[in-house]
Amino acid sequence: MEDMILYNRLQFAFTITFHYLFPQLTMGLSLMIVYFKWKFLRTNNEDYNNAAKFWMKIFALNFAMGVVTGIPMEFQFGTNWAKFSELTGSIIGQTLAMEGMFSFFLESSFLGMFLFGEKLLGQKLHFLSGLMVFLGSWASGFLILATHSWMQHPVGYEILENGKFVLNNFSALFTNPWLLPSYLHNQAGSLITSSFFVAAVGAFYLLSNKHSRFGKIFVKSGVIFGVIASILVAFPTGDWAAKNVVKHQPATFAAMEGIFETEKGGSEIVLIGQPDMENKKLDNKIAVPNILSFLTYQRWDAEIKGLNDFDESIHPTNVPGLYYAYHIMVGLGTIFIGIMTLAAFLLWRNKLYQTKWLLWILMFMIPFPYIANTAGWYTAELGRQPWLVYNLMRMVDGVSPTVSSGNALFTLLGFVGLYLLLGLLFLLLVLKIIRKGPEAKIALK
């Protein structure tokens, strides 16, 4: 039974981690494409129009990969997690169906119009089609996060005698106090990914002396969006999301921060340390006194309960994994703020395009927003364990009883092999688009 649960968890973790590499770029990139098209309408500079069409090609490829890798996850609710789907399907099915029926079709329909309908639509309607793609992609994120938020903080439900969860307040799904903080934090994170991606491509063009006009546009736009998103992901969205965890999942918060013992007179914030689960303490820690109390409650002496004060039955299953995922996310987020702030300063001083060492940094930062976003999702998921629905349904109660550990392992290996091929194909196609570059038409004056 333990092997079966482990392989089912590994399979879902692998498929959803690989899948989310794509939506995090499309959601942020859709906003930047709208910006490029808007700049073209304002300035009549054809370079901005070509920039919008260039990035929409990458968006379309990314979107297709997101669809291909997203479908198997929905099937896994019925194959690997049938009991969970049976008991909670009348609730989570609402938002998942809305995401598929409304957001996905809105996004995909107008994507086709943007890609192929510029001459037929005219420039203003072409801009509108890009705007609808943006709204569809962000609505998709909202509905998926509504599902996730209900699992983290269930609201508006009742449990029938047969154990099934039914919805008794539809609006509660969208007024869930967990939803808005996590949604805004997630969207800021996706905008960081797209900002670094756009800036990195621009830096590549400048360093290689190819498509230099577009390189400057991409670097400038990526840095401006990036510095705003990097700050927003920390404050207020990250701060708000963390305070939500303190309120609704205090044991999770203690594990995230590495607090084992309740400290009188204020809690320190740990910068570095390694959880020692045998002795229930942090080894080799570097910490700043009282800062965590102030950040959490705006009081230097506020008390934050340590993990040892909670019953072990509600402790997160994997405390070290949760602790490291959270600190990777926070650490990289701090680095993003530093890099983008410095780049914005040099951009303001008209020195960024000539500062090659910083352009190299921007170019090689591409993978790190993906790592940070993945670590953020791991923080949310590991923090909820061992629950599928927090405080109501445990992991062991949601698996499919008829799927053996061998079946789960076999399909996991199949997904690994297939997704490796898909990933390589995606990289080759994206690199081909980048190598070709935007259409190098003369900008209109």
Among the listed residues 291, 200, 196, 288, the one whose alpha carbon sits nearest the alpha carbon of residue 239 = 291
Residue 173 resides in a domain? no
Q: What are phi and psi of 58, to 5 degrees?
A: -65, -40
Residue 279 resides in a domain? no
pLDDT of residue 28: 97
pLDDT of residue 1: 63
Residue 28 resides in a domain? yes
Residue 205 resides in a domain? yes
Residue 229 resides in a domain? yes
CB 181, CB 240: distance < 8 Å: yes
Residue 445 CB partners (closer than 8 Å, separation 6+): none
Instruction: Give yes or no for a cis peptide into 177 (omega within 30° of 0).
Output: no
Residue 267 resides in a domain? no
pLDDT of residue 442: 41
pLDDT of residue 90: 94
pLDDT of residue 263: 82
CB 410, CB 89: distance < 8 Å: no
Between the two ends of the chain, the Cα-to-Cα distance in Å is: 69
Residue 445 resides in a domain? no
| C-alpha dihedral sign at 232, 346, 364, 323 | negative
Which contiguous run of DSSP H or E holds residue 341? helix 319-348
pLDDT of residue 74: 84
Q: What are phi and psi of 281, to 5 degrees?
A: -160, 170
Question: What are the respective helix, strand and coil percentages of the chain, to the nearest 5?
Answer: 75, 5, 20
The pLDDT tens digits along the chain (445 residues) read 678 889 999 999 999 999 999 999 999 999 999 999 999 999 999 999 999 999 999 999 999 999 999 988 888 998 999 999 999 999 999 999 999 888 988 999 999 999 999 999 999 999 999 999 999 999 999 999 999 999 999 999 999 999 999 999 999 999 999 999 999 999 999 999 999 999 999 999 999 999 999 999 999 999 999 999 999 999 999 999 999 999 999 999 999 999 999 988 889 999 999 999 999 999 999 999 999 999 999 999 999 999 999 999 899 999 999 999 999 999 999 999 999 999 999 999 999 999 999 999 999 999 999 999 999 999 999 999 999 999 999 999 999 988 899 999 999 999 999 999 999 999 999 999 999 999 654 443 3
pLDDT of residue 305: 93
Residue 250 resides in a domain? yes
Residue 15 CB partners (closer than 8 Å, separation 6+): 69, 72, 73, 76, 415, 419
Residue range(s) defining the domain that contains residue 391: 2-168+178-262+305-436
pLDDT of residue 229: 98
DSSP string for residues in 6-60: HHHHHHHHHHHHHHHTTHHHHHHHHHHHHHHHHHHHHH--HHHHHHHHHHHHHHH
Whether the model pTM is above 0.85: yes
Q: CA 361 to CA 350: how far, in whole Å?
A: 18
Q: How many structural domains comprise the chain?
A: 1
Q: CA 412 to CA 105: how far, in whole Å?
A: 29
